[in-house]
Amino acid sequence: MTLSLKYTISLAALSLILAACSSQDKKQTDKKVQTMEEIHAEKGKPTHVVLASKMNLADIRQFSGSVEGIQQTHAEAKMSDPIKTIKVSIGSSVQKDQVLAEFFYTGDNTAYQQAEEQVKLLESSTQRLREVYAKGGLSQQDLDEAETQLRIAKLSMETARRKTIVLSPASGVVTEVRFKEGEVPSIGATLFTIAKLDQVILKLPITSQDIGLFKKGATATVHLNGEDLKGKVSMVPLAADASTRFFPVEITFNNKGHKLLPGMFITAEVNARSIDAVAVPNDAIIYKNGLNTVWIVQNGKAVRKIVTPGVSNQNYTQIVSGIAPSDSVMFDGMSKMNEGDKVLIVD
């Protein structure tokens, strides 16, 4: 075979191969590639659904208030003179009638010294009368009168002494010291606050609208420094405070370690009630333009429903109206849905 003939045969074979490749490429090019919109129209837009179902929901409400020590009392000034010494500080444990502070003696508060001198005088005279009585030179009645005058003088001296010092009205812990040494309080001013801290009370100012949510014994939780402190509603008043118009509800906490301190302003989560209700995941509810809506699947199509939400917790929200139990409710992919879209439910 000549070289020219070999070349002609090779060229013809190459042409056939190229023609076959060209025909295959043309077939692939002619095959149409579907867009995402076309896939969604054919198979549906993907979403996950959950059946709306009845469940028990705890109605947890948040309320804020101030902490007070249980059996909280105040030590007040009985005279208006400079404070000489303060013998305690905040956090000090004290006993009933323990001396908390002393006043300076001034020209205006000499009643104690006068009473003390009167007692000394009566003690001397009464002792002499006892000796005379022992010898039969004094009647029992006269001695009794002298003894009575001495007792009265001692009571007056003690009353005057108590005005020159400040005594603790009860056992407990000093939670507040309002004055410093050298300062002059007015008569009746609170100098110290004493409280028992093994238990504390959280006082909540509650409105007329919310007071019906509170029941004695309901549980409450305070989150403080990574800890959950549990308490119970201990007092629900039947009347509002006349000056504030709020109902002062009290929650009592056992306070081991004195973690809750008087004066703290904290928020408590109160388990107001439990209800059985149709509920959906919180992620299923969309709030827009003043309306709460959910998307459900009916006959394979997306349907938007306006709903009325109710009680909610961290995961679920009650639906008061708008959907029925066993409705298939979407909880993702809703942003891509339009009314009537075909839906592909993903397991």
Q: DSSP letters of 295-333?
A: EEEETTEEEEEE-EEEEE-SSEEEEEES--TT-EEE-SS
Report yes or no on 118 lying in a domain: yes
Regarding whether 303 and 229 lie in a shared domain, the answer is no
Residues 225-245 have pLDDT tens digits of: 999 999 999 999 999 999 999
Regarding whether 168 and 118 lie in a shared domain, the answer is yes
Regarding whether 145 and 98 lie in a shared domain, the answer is yes
Which CATH number do you get for residue 223?
Answer: 2.40.30.170
Strand extents, DSSP E, 207-264: 219-224, 227-235, 247-254
Regarding whether 254 and 222 lie in a shared domain, the answer is yes
Regarding whether 163 and 215 lie in a shared domain, the answer is no
Report yes or no on 11 lying in a domain: no
Residues 277-330 have pLDDT tens digits of: 999 999 999 999 999 999 999 999 999 999 999 988 889 999 999 999 989 999
Percent of the chain at pLDDT > 90 equals 54
Report yes or no on 209 lying in a domain: yes
Report yes or no on 16 lying in a domain: no
Give the pLDDT confidence score for residue 150 in this predicted structure: 87
Which residues neighbour 149 within 8 Å (Cβ) at sequence distance 6 or greater? 122, 126
Give this prediction's pTM: 0.59
Domain end (from 253, 275, 297): 275
Give the pLDDT confidence score for residue 13 in this predicted structure: 47
Q: Distance between CA 56 and CA 318 in Å, rounded?
A: 10
Answer yes or no: are the C-beta atoms of 143 and 130 closer than 8 Å: yes
Q: How far apart are the first and last CA of the chain?
A: 70
Q: Distance between CA 306 and CA 295 in Å, rounded?
A: 9
Which residues neighbour 346 within 8 Å (Cβ) at sequence distance 6 or greater? 46, 47, 48
Report yes or no on 188 lying in a domain: no
User: What mean pLDDT value characterizes the chain?
Assistant: 86
* Domain of residue 105, residue span: 78-177
Which CATH number do you get for residue 289?
Answer: 2.40.420.20
φ, ψ dihedrals at 80, nearest 5°: -110, 80
Q: Which residues on neighbouring strands pair with residue 319, listed in sequence order?
A: 309
Residue 85 three-state SS: strand
Q: Distance between CA 114 and CA 64 in Å, rounded?
A: 53
The tally of domains found in the chain comes to: 3
Measured CA distances, 315 to 201, 225, 268, 279 (Å)? 30, 24, 19, 10
Residue 91's H or E segment, with its range, is none
Give the pLDDT confidence score for residue 297 in this predicted structure: 95
Regarding whether 201 and 271 lie in a shared domain, the answer is yes
Regarding whether 150 and 168 lie in a shared domain, the answer is yes
Regarding whether 167 and 101 lie in a shared domain, the answer is yes
Regarding whether 115 and 173 lie in a shared domain, the answer is yes
